[in-house]
Amino acid sequence: MATLKQLAKREERFVSGHRLCPGCGAGLIARMVMLAIEKPVIVGNATGCLEVASTIFPYSSWNVPWVHSAFENVSASLSGVEAAYRSLKKQGKIDEDVVFVAFGGDGGTYDIGLQSLSGAAERGHKMLYVCYNNQAYMNTGVQRSSATSKGAHTSTSPVGKAIPGKGQFPKDLASIMVAHNIPYVATSIPGRWNDLVNKVEKAVSFNGFTFIDVLSPCRLGWPHEPSITMEIARLAAETCIWPLYEVVEGKYRLTFRPKEKKPITEWFKLQRRFAHLLKPENQPLLEEIQKEVDTKWEALLKKCEG
C-alpha cells in the first residue's frame, strides 16, 4: 500500500476549487480514490452532489477525462466507454493501461441506479464503482433513500407525531454486490485513509467489476459540524454501524475491529437527524436499532471467521 509520503508526491487528480460544502465527505473520498491510482484514469460521475459541485461550467475539479451521466446510468455509460477502450486496444490503436472509475451517491447507486449497476457487474466490465454513501438524496433536498438509517429524520421521513423518522433499516447493498460473484467488494470510510487507499489499490488490480461502498458524512443532511467529519466517520466503524470489511473472490475479511465496541448513541449524538432518538420516549426504538447493529456485527464476524 502507498504511504502518505508517496501519496503526497503524486499528481492531484481531484483538485481544489469545487463548491462542495465544508466538511463534505464526498470530496475527501474522491481525492483519496484518485490519489490511490497511479495509472491513467477515466471517471464516470452520476448526477449528484459530487458532480454538481465539482463541474460548474466552465470550471472542473477533475484533472482526468471525466464523463457526466444521468442520475441512474453511470454504470451503463462507463460500461460503454470501457468496451470501446477494449476494442481500440485490441485493434492496436491504444497501448496504455487505463483504469475506469464510476462515482455515484447512494440515491444513484442503491436506488435509481441499481439496475445499471447490476448489469455492469453481471457483464463483468473492468471498472471500479465507488458509492459515496451519505445516506439520503442530499443534492435534491435530503429525501430518504434505501441507504438511510432507520430512525433518521429526512424531508420525506420527518420526525413528528406520525412517525419517528425513517421506518426501515438500510439496504445491505454490499451483500447484493457479493451475490453478483464479482471479484472484489468492500466497505470503507474517509476517516481511515489507509483502509480506503488500500482497498482502491486492490480493487483496480482485478480484471473485472469491483465495488466499494464508502460512508460519506454530510454536514448538511445529517447535520453535523464541518470540523468533525472524520470523527463521525471513524465512530461509524467503532460503533459497528458501518463495519469495515472486504470480500475477495467470495472470502470475507474484517479490515478493522474496534478495541472497544462503542454504543450507537456515541454516533447518534453528533448528528441532529438522530436527536429525537436520544429522548426517553424513543428508548424502545433506540434499543431496536442497537440490537440490529449487534446482530449484523456478529453475523459478519462469523462470515469473516469462516
Q: Are strands 184-188 and 245-248 parallel, antiparallel or unpaired?
A: antiparallel
pLDDT value of position 115: 98
Q: Are strands 209-215 and 127-133 parallel, antiparallel or unpaired?
A: parallel
Residue 1 has pLDDT above 90, yes or no: no
Residue 222 burial (CB < 10 Å; 0-12/13-18/19+)? buried
Residue 306 has pLDDT above 80, yes or no: no
Nearest Cα to Cα of residue 78 among 34, 33, 48, 123:
123
CA distance 61 to 137: 22
Grid coordinates given for 34: 484518485
- The answer, as to whether pTM is greater than 0.95, is yes
pLDDT single digits (tens) 46-82: 999 999 999 999 999 999 999 999 999 999 999 999 9
Range 13-21 average pLDDT = 95
CA distance 108 to 116: 10
Structural contact between residues 105 and 134, judged by C-beta atoms closer than 8 angstroms:
yes
Grid coordinates given for 35: 490519489
Structural contact between residues 193 and 181, judged by C-beta atoms closer than 8 angstroms:
no
CA distance 148 to 170: 6
Share of the chain above pLDDT 90, in %: 97
| pLDDT bracket for residue 189 (50, 70, 90) | very high
Residue 119 has pLDDT above 90, yes or no: yes
Range 187-216 average pLDDT = 98
Range 108-126 average pLDDT = 98
pLDDT value of position 19: 95
Cα 246–chain centre separation: 13
Quickly name the fold that domain 4-305 has: Rossmann fold (3.40.50)
Residue 102 has pLDDT above 90, yes or no: yes
Q: In angstroms, what CA-CA distances link 112 with 71, 108, 169?
A: 7, 5, 18
